[in-house]
A and B are shown apart, each in its own frame.
Chain A
Amino acid sequence: MSGYRFDSIDKLVNTQDGFISRELFVDSDIYKAELEKIFTRAWLMVGHESLVPNPGDFYTSRMGEESVILCRDKAGIIHVFLNSCRHRGMKVCRYESGNTSLFTCPYHSWTYTTDGRLQGVPLYKSLYDGVLDREANSLVSVAKLANYKGTIWATWDPEAPDFLTYLGDAKIHLDQALDCRDGREGGSEVIGVHKWIFPANWKFASENFLGDTYHNPSHRSVDLIGIGPSAASGKKGRRDDELAVAQHVWVSFPVGHGVHSAIQPEQNQYVESFLDNPVLEEYFRHCYEERKRRLGDGARLLPFVGTIFPNTSYHGRQPRGLCAWHPHSPTSTEAWRFFLVDKDAPQEVKDYLRHYYMRYSGPAGMTEQDDLENWLYATSASMGTVARRYPFNYQQSLGAYTSDHPLGGDVSLQVTEQIARGYYNGWAAFMRNASWDEITGGDRKGAARHAAE
């Protein structure tokens, strides 16, 4: 059965006509293949350097289903290791985070230093004649690791392109989520991570954050209540209306990345965004003017949301943060929300934003609950034999995009599912074991050939 399905990936993903099979969201064979073909090749976000600020700090994370350790060694170098002893596979670290000089396997006590080296083997001379190859039995390290503006990304594939090549033109959109609010590069800090498990396929979340603006009505009750930082002052909604006068763009990039950003008018002015707190209002007004001064015309581009293929998403402005959608099974996902602030922001700003983020996102966040309800019922309603016969419809704004735009990629100026179609084209390329050249858009002929087939 699995052979049949894998030979038919392009039939499951028909982006020409705008249909995606429900099997992608419920089938266990496809799910297993995703773990092998996507999660062992793609660049995955593992965490943030601010989670491991000191030598010996560690933070356990995930790559696909597998537990990994994000660790800063004694010399201050950041590593990512498979969290599994080389002897019998036991987790060498069972804590979420902490500081250590060694990782000791609880099973037989093989012990590793923070740079992954096998340091301690009980009865080394008595039972191994003092000649066990420690180097060959070090913790399994990722093939490549990148620290991009504080975010830590890794891939198991030694043939993978460098991270910036992988990111391509999606870079400037992700940048806006990671850069300081006043336009300085980088400088973000994680002020908390929410983790929870929900019964839906991981791609529902990834796809949603590409820029599924069409689902906005599902948040209407939240908008009516008003949970934004100016709600008490009369501006209802989830956020401010900073992007209300901007030209919104939905961009699909090679690999499968997709973003929803906005370009402000030439005479862009600060829009009051934190009316409920004068300290924040003043802070963000200052940041806005500074950013405009630093970036000039580039400051007109503001991020909204986006997904870096396969499972990392971001909210660029309000509420600013990163999401990792970790697969647990075809119908179960572990969500991680990393809440971001500028590291040097005033404490009052950080505290206010933390509360706002929790009001909006995470398992108790009002907006997040709307999304979760949709994702989990869409999953459960797609598991039946009859339901599986009917693919999802992705025909919205078919063909309504341009590939000749300064932003690169396929740019739409109207609400579109082109970003989702691009995402699943990327998905299909990984599932076909396509070359990196094709995946990253270097081999457009190969990609076009598959699309035509």
Chain B
Amino acid sequence: MINMLDLKPGDRLQLREGEFAQVVANMEDGMWVEVRTLETATAEPDPSEEPQLCHAQDIVRLLTPAG
């Protein structure tokens, strides 16, 4: 189980439904992070895309911690 408080901006996530996302901000409420979706696990996010909320239950695993 991922501790949401550990997630940092830049972290890449594998989500349910085969989706990927990159953390934009962590409000540190332990439930949600703001993310931008990714085409693939290694793709770059579209900076013009409005960040959306991603819930802990939607996250399958942490792919790449932010450097």
Residues of A within 8 A of B (CB): 101-102, 104, 109, 111, 119-126
Contacts and interface: CB of A to CB of B under 8 A. Distances in A.
A125 B37 CA distance: 13
A122 B32 CA distance: 9
B16 A109 contact: no
Contacts of A126: 16-17, 58
Contacts of A104: 29, 31-32
Contacts of B61: none
A120 B16 contact: no
Interface string B10-48: 000000110100000001010110000000000000000
Contacts of B53: 102, 111, 119-120
A124 B17 CA distance: 11
Contacts of A120: 32, 53, 55
A125 B55 contact: no
Contact of B29 (A102, A121, A122, A123): A102
25 contacts: A101-B27, A102-B27, A102-B29, A102-B32, A104-B29, A104-B31, A109-B31, A109-B32, A109-B55, A109-B57, A111-B31, A111-B53, A111-B55, A120-B32, A120-B53, A120-B55, A122-B55, A122-B56, A122-B58, A123-B16, A123-B57, A124-B58, A125-B19, A125-B58, A126-B16
A102 B32 CA distance: 10
A266 B17 CA distance: 79
B58 A111 contact: no
Majority secondary structure, B binding face: mixed
Nearest to B27: A101
**Interface size for chain B: under 10, 10 to 19, 20 to 34, or 35 or more residues?**
10 to 19
A11 to B, nearest CB: 55
Nearest to A120: B53
Contacts of B32: 102, 104, 109, 111, 120
Nearest to B19: A125
A-B pairs with lowest CB-CB distance, top 5: A120-B53, A122-B55, A122-B57, A125-B17, A126-B16
Contacts of A119: 53
Most buried by A among B19, B27, B29, B53: B53
Nearest to A113: B53
Given A119-B53, A124-B58, 8 more contacts: A101-B27, A109-B55, A111-B32, A111-B53, A111-B55, A120-B53, A120-B55, A125-B19
A121 B32 CA distance: 10
Contacts of B29: 102, 104
Nearest to B55: A122
A126 B55 CA distance: 12
A101 B16 CA distance: 25
Contacts of A101: 27
Contacts of A111: 31-32, 53, 55
A87 to B, nearest CB: 13
Contacts of B56: 122
A31 to B, nearest CB: 38
Contacts of B19: 125
Nearest to B53: A120
B5 to A, nearest CB: 14
B27 A123 contact: no
Contacts of A121: 55
B17 to A, nearest CB: 5
Contacts of A102: 27, 29, 32, 53
A286 B55 CA distance: 58
Most buried by B among A119, A121, A122, A123: A122
A124 B19 CA distance: 13
A384 to B, nearest CB: 51
Contacts of A109: 31-32, 55, 57
A125 B19 CA distance: 11
Contacts of B16: 123, 125-126
Contacts of B55: 109, 111, 120-123
A119 B17 CA distance: 19
A101 B57 CA distance: 20
Contacts of B17: 125-126
A125 B17 CA distance: 8
B15 to A, nearest CB: 9
Most buried by A among B19, B29, B56: B29
